[in-house]
Amino acid sequence: MADKYSADTIITETQKRISNAFDVFDHESNKTVDVREIGTIIRSLGCFPSEADLHDIIAELEEEEPTGFVRYEKFLPTMTKILLERKFRPITEDLLLQAFEVLDQQKKGHLEPEELTKYLTQEGEPFTQEEMDEMLSAAVDPDKNVILYKDFFH
């Protein structure tokens, strides 16, 4: 039972995963997706690219004359490479916890919604208001009205 998966199998499985994820966003069933959905598709396959990373990838995927759409024939090889090379690895929980702790300057053990909002909408690769609202709705403890970030991690 040693080498169950040959390299070929892995590649085929990977490509089928990519194909499925692509299909979810291929609304007209013509093997194209809106370029604005590329980020979502890549992330749904388990990658954690930054916005800057995505920018570069999209530049690679677009046609010479940008149509606003990305074709599957271009997406597949690029995405296969990303997955096989394990680019944009997940962020470890330790690192993430540290990140929250950095923002929690007063070492309170939690973050106020306003604090988090300030950082995430002004620093780094800023959130849109919509993204911020969504995150708050998921992250804020409604009783205490704070973000108990330690609870996100096991």
Decide whether 36 or 81 has the Cβ nearer to another protein.
36
Question: What is the residue-wise DSSP string for the chain?
Answer: ----S-HHHHHHHHHHHHHHHHHHH-TTSSSEEEGGGHHHHHHHTT----HHHHHHHHHHHS-SS--SEEEHHHHHHHHHHHHHTT-SPPPPHHHHHHHHHHH-TT--SSB-HHHHHHHHHHSSSPPPHHHHHHHHHHH-BTTTTBB-GGGG--
Of positions 5, 63, 67, 109, contacts another protein by CB under 8 A: 5
Binding to another protein in span 60-89, by CB under 8 A: none
Of positions 11, 39, 80, 112, contacts another protein by CB under 8 A: 39
Do residues 120 and 132 make contact, with C-beta atoms less than 8 angstroms apart?
yes
Residue 152 engages another protein in binding (rule: CB under 8 A) = yes
Of positions 44, 78, 80, 117, contacts another protein by CB under 8 A: 44
Work out how close the CB of 48 gets to another protein at its nearest, in angstroms, rounded to a whole number. Answer: 5
Residue 134 engages another protein in binding (rule: CB under 8 A) = yes
Binding site for another protein (CB under 8 A): 1, 4-5, 12-13, 16-17, 20-21, 23-25, 28, 39-44, 47-51, 90-91, 95-96, 98-100, 102-103, 119-120, 123-127, 131, 133-135, 137-143, 147-148, 151-154
